[in-house]
């Protein structure tokens, strides 16, 4: 017999922790909320049905190549705004442009409801940061909060109110191009970082004119696309959905995210964009989310392609009933909902709820008070030295040192001759996918970062193809080979059938590395990518490998900082690196199976032709110094159901340089009503230690962290043994054990 503690208790605990407010602030918040609802009521009462559909309609600004058509579409759009038929625009940027259109809404439309201007501000706006997967490698919520805050300040100065970020899709398949946009494979890491991104974009108060409304996406399961092929269907059990795919969205909603976006995928036979279970039941009912839901681009119309709706009338109806409040791009709501109401297929009550949610956000954003952007801000905030420094620091924090045999790195700045070669040495692809308004010309390439780092006595030799690179290497004291992938090999529609190195500029990249390595000079590989890459030969044969990612405008400077010892890399992998594409899906928090892999035993769960372990595990990353762990202490050997457990340990820098270590806490629920992963991350802390310095790191395992959605699909902690590991990555660590036991005293009391 197993005991449970109810999910409501945990939800209360979570909410209490998420919104620690003083009574005064709380009362003020309630009053503001009441006042907002009153204003929404007042406005709703004055709206015609058509004006309501307008608020539920989001359009891209027309981008016709043909000038005449463009003018015609622009004029049509202005007319629609004037008649209250558009509630939000995407891809209009620039304060003057936004203000001009806003003026039509606010001064020429009947009800003067301001427009919401939206844009994909994914990893920075003008100052671009590392791609989100790289940012996740920082394992540093504060870095992500700060980067998102800078992005919001820049984007809002350009007239924007709303970003379609953060992407919180769990990515377990490196073939999927959009793995670059998320925070990796782990629900806990993604939850913590996702909540930080929301706080960064939205700042302390949405009505702050420098804040952007966040939009966690894509709800839900998009990252599980079969075979990693973008837009592909997903089959996800409810357990896996609730335990793996949904927690980051719950955390983002808890952090106050104003909106949520649907996903393109079919989820267990119901496309996410028409999925009542996701939006009405989970998001709006169980989580009491009071923001609004926007469809992904054209996703409502695409319900017809899915074979879920016969025509656009049906598509509009099912999405609305499922809880999708705003239609991005397809105009299906605008054109179809009138008939749906007249034919009583949808009630006006449902329409009003959707419109209420949109208006509520417009009030919260302060748009009725301040509809216009300050056109003078741009010059002051864009690409400021502070923003660029924040981007450089974020790029440094994202670097992952994958290998460093015999401390080859860092290199000396004053070596006589240095070769920097490969197709990405001087490439702006480092910028990454979804670069918003980042100008590629501002990207510091790896080569230019190195140039400004090394002494002016060092002779620098460069090369791109194999012959040039070999010649440069022969003539040098050390060689840095920069390889990887283009930004467009990742991102939306950027899925690949293999994650081995691609040919680039006609060069077989692995052949290039082999040829240069054969020269016998000290060789460093820098990887520039937005996904995990399968590089087994390189991992085996090259002594030093630095993962530089697609790291935004300042990537080249940050990489050079690390290569030459001005920065000691301390990032960790947010995603497992497989040995080959065929090893996918491979992720650390898998189930054990009845026959866990044993290298020397045939009938176990593994492939015959490669080891069962990954090339580099989740959480992995080295440093120029070394860290020793000891003194793992658990607050108790047993805790009562509903109780928490303190876990502490000591970590010491036993090397010669200062450095960052990400201390990681994992647990395993040994036997449960549904099988649990072999390990689950439940805590982490990035600590900075000087040589010889020792720190005690403490974690608290709360019921929220120990529980999961169990056989009854209730969130609960179950009785029994748990294992705990604390260490430097997901593959090892100091090990402990404790037990969750029933609470006899309270049970006895209840019986009486």
Q: What is the DSSP string of 64-75?
A: -SSHHHHHHHHH
Q: Binding pattern to ligand BGC, positions 557-596, x when CB under 6 A?
A: ----------------------------------------
Q: How far apart are CA 589 and CA 605, in angstroms?
A: 15
State in angstroms the smallest separation of the CB of 559 from ligand BGC. 28
In sequence order, the β-bridge partners of residue 428 are none
Name the nearest CA neighbour of 706 among 688, 690, 724: 724
Q: DSSP letter at 271?
A: E
59 binds ligand BGC (CB under 6 A): no
Q: Binding pattern to ligand BGC, positions 67-106, x when CB under 6 A?
A: -----------------------x----------------
Q: Closer CB to ligand BGC, residue 120 or residue 729? A: 120
Is residue 660 classed as helix, strand or coil in its secondary structure? strand
Q: How far apart are CA 239 and CA 676, in angstroms?
A: 10
Q: Which two tokens stand for residue 712?
A: 């009854």
Q: Beta strand pairing status for 259-261 and 266-267?
A: unpaired
Q: Which two tokens stand for residue 496?
A: 């690949």
Q: Binding pattern to ligand BGC, positions 202-221, x when CB under 6 A?
A: ---------------x----
State in angstroms the smallest separation of the CB of 431 from ligand BGC. 18
Q: Closer CB to ligand BGC, residue 10 or residue 122? A: 122
State in angstroms the smallest separation of the CB of 241 from ligand BGC. 20
Q: Is the dihedral of CA 419, 422, 423, 428 positive or negative?
A: negative
Q: Closer CB to ligand BGC, residue 166 or residue 174? A: 166
Q: Closer CB to ligand BGC, residue 291 or residue 617? A: 291
Task: Name the active-site residue from 186, 296, 426, 561.
Answer: 296
Contacts of 21 by beta carbon, 8 Å cutoff, 6+ apart:
29
Q: Beta strand pairing status for 659-669 and 720-727?
A: antiparallel
State in angstroms the smallest separation of the CB of 290 from ligand BGC. 22
Residues 77, 86: contact at Cβ < 8 Å?
A: yes
| Rg value, the chain, Cα | 27
State in angstroms the smallest separation of the CB of 43 from ligand BGC. 27
Q: Binding pattern to ligand BGC, positions 217-246, x when CB under 6 A?
A: x-----------------------------
State in angstroms the smallest separation of the CB of 558 from ligand BGC. 26
Q: DSSP letter at 292?
A: E
Which CA distances in Å does 565 have to 208, 306, 652? 40, 53, 21
Name the nearest CA neighbour of 679 among 585, 575, 589, 572: 589
Q: Closer CB to ligand BGC, residue 234 or residue 509? A: 234
Q: Closer CB to ligand BGC, residue 177 or residue 247? A: 177
482 binds ligand BGC (CB under 6 A): no
Q: Closer CB to ligand BGC, residue 116 or residue 346? A: 116
Q: How far apart are CA 108 and CA 80, in angstroms?
A: 11
Q: How many residues bind ligand BGC (CB under 6 A)?
A: 7
Q: Which residue is nearest to ligand BGC (CB)?
A: 164
Q: How far apart are CA 580 and CA 269, in angstroms?
A: 31
Q: Closer CB to ligand BGC, residue 120 or residue 158? A: 120
**Alpha-carbon dihedral angle through residues 519, 525, 529, 531, given to the nearest 10 degrees:** 100
492 binds ligand BGC (CB under 6 A): yes
CA 437 to chain centre: 19
Q: Counting beta carbons within 10 angstroms of the beta carbon of residue 645, is it exposed (0 to 12), middle (13 to 18) or buried (19 or more)?
A: buried
Among 51, 120, 302, 314, binds ligand BGC (CB under 6 A): 120
Q: Closer CB to ligand BGC, residue 90 or residue 274? A: 90
Q: Closer CB to ligand BGC, residue 221 or residue 570? A: 221
Residues 740, 641: contact at Cβ < 8 Å?
A: yes
Q: How far apart are CA 420 and CA 463, in angstroms?
A: 7
Which CA distances in Å does 175 have to 344, 368, 489, 492, 552? 45, 44, 10, 12, 22
State in angstroms the smallest separation of the CB of 42 from ligand BGC. 32
Q: Closer CB to ligand BGC, residue 59 or residue 365? A: 59
> In b/e form, how buried is each residue of 573-603, taking b as 16+ CB within 10 angstroms?
bbbbbbbbbebbebbbbeeeeeeeeeeeeee
CA 237 to chain centre: 22
State in angstroms the smallest separation of the CB of 177 from ligand BGC. 11
State in angstroms the smallest separation of the CB of 311 from ligand BGC. 22
State in angstroms the smallest separation of the CB of 181 from ligand BGC. 8
State in angstroms the smallest separation of the CB of 668 from ligand BGC. 34
296 among known catalytic residues: yes
Among 164, 245, 564, 624, binds ligand BGC (CB under 6 A): 164
Contacts of 351 by beta carbon, 8 Å cutoff, 6+ apart:
49, 52, 53, 56, 320, 337, 341
Q: Binding pattern to ligand BGC, positions 261-300, x when CB under 6 A?
A: -----------------------------------xx---
List contacts with ligand BGC (CB under 6 A).
90, 120, 164, 217, 296-297, 492
**Which residues have a catalytic role annotated?**
296
């Amino acid at each position: 017999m197993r005991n449970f503690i109810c999910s409501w208790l945990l939800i209360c605990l979570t909410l209490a922790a998420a919104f620690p407010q003083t009574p005064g602030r709380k009362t003020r918040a309630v009053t503001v909320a009441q006042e907002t609802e009153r204003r929404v009521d007042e406005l709703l009462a004055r709206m015609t049905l058509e004006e309501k559909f307008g608020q539920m309609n989001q359009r891209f600004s027309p981008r016709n190549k043909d000038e005449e058509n463009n003018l015609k579409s622009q004029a049509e759009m202005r007319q629609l705004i004037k008649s209250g038929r558009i509630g939000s625009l995407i891809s209009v940027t620039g304060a003057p442009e936004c203000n001009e259109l806003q003026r039509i809404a606010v001064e020429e439309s009947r009800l003067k409801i301001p427009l919401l201007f939206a844009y994909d501000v994914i990893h920075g706006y003008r100052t671009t940061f590392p791609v989100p997967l790289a940012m996740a490698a920082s394992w540093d919520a504060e870095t992500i909060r700060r980067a998102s805050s800078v992005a919001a300040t820049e984007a809002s100065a350009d007239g924007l109110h709303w970003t379609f970020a953060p992407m919180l899709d769990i990515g377990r398949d490196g073939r999927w191009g959009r793995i670059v946009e998320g925070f990796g494979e782990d629900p806990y890491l993604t939850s913590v970082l996702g909540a930080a991104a929301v706080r960064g974009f939205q700042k302390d108060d949405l009505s702050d004119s420098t804040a952007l409304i966040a939009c966690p996406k894509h709800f839900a399961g998009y990252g599980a696309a079969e075979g990693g092929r973008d837009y592909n269907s997903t089959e996800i059990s409810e357990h896996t959905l609730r335990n793996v795919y949904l927690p980051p969205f719950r955390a983002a909603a808890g952090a106050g995210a104003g909106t949520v976006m649907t996903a393109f995928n079919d989820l267990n036979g119901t496309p996410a964009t028409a999925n009542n279970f996701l939006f009405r039941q989970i998001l709006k009912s169980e989580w009491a989310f009071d923001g609004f839901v926007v469809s992904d681009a054209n996703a409502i119309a695409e319900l017809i392609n899915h074979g879920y709706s016969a025509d656009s009338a049906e598509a509009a109806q099912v999405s609305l009933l499922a809880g999708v409040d705003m239609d991005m791009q397809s105009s299906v709501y605008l054109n179809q909902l009138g008939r749906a109401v007249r034919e009583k297929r949808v009630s006006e009550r449902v329409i009003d709820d959707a419109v209420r949610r949109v208006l509520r956000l417009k009030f919260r954003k302060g748009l009725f008070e301040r509809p216009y952007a300050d056109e003078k801000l741009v010059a002051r905030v864009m690409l400021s030295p502070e923003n660029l420094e924040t981007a450089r620091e974020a790029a440094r924090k994202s670097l992952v040192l994958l290998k460093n045999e015999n401390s080859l790195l860092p290199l000396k700045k004053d070596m006589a001759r240095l070769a920097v070669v490969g197709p990405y040495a001087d490439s702006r692809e480092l910028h990454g996918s979804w670069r918003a308004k980042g100008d590629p010309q501002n990207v510091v390439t790896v080569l230019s970062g190195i140039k400004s780092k090394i002494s002016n006595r060092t002779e620098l030799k460069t090369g791109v193809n194999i012959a040039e690179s070999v010649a440069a290497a022969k003539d040098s004291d050390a060689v840095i080979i920069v390889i990887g992938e283009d930004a467009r090999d990742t991102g939306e529609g950027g899925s690949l059938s293999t994650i081995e190195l691609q040919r680039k500029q006609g060069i077989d990249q692995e052949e290039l590395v082999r040829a240069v390595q054969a020269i016998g000079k000290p060789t460093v590989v820098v990887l520039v990518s937005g996904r995990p890459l399968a590089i087994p030969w390189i991992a085996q044969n090259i002594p030093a490998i630095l993962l530089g990612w697609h790291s935004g405008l300042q990537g080249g400077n940050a990489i050079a900082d690390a290569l030459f010892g001005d920065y000691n890399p301390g990032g960790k992998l947010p995603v497992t690196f497989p040995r080959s594409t065929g090893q996918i899906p491979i992720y650390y928090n898998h189930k054990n199976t009845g026959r866990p892999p044993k290298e020397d035993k045939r009938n176990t769960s593994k492939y015959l032709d490669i080891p069962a372990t990954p090339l580099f595990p989740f959480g992995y990353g080295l440093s120029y110094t070394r860290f020793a762990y000891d003194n793992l202490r658990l607050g108790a050997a047993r805790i009562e159901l509903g109780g928490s457990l303190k876990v502490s340990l000591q970590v010491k820098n036993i090397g010669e340089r200062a450095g960052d270590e990400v201390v990681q806490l994992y647990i395993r629920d040994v036997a449960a009503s549904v099988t649990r992963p072999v390990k689950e991350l439940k805590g982490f802390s990035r600590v900075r230690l000087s040589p010889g310095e020792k720190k005690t790191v403490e974690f608290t395992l709360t019921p929220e962290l120990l529980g999961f959605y169990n056989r009854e699909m209730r969130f609960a902690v179950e009785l029994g043994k748990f294992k705990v590991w604390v260490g430097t990555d997901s593959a090892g660590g100091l090990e402990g054990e404790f037990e969750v036991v029933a609470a006899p005293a309270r049970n006895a009391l209840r019986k009486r």
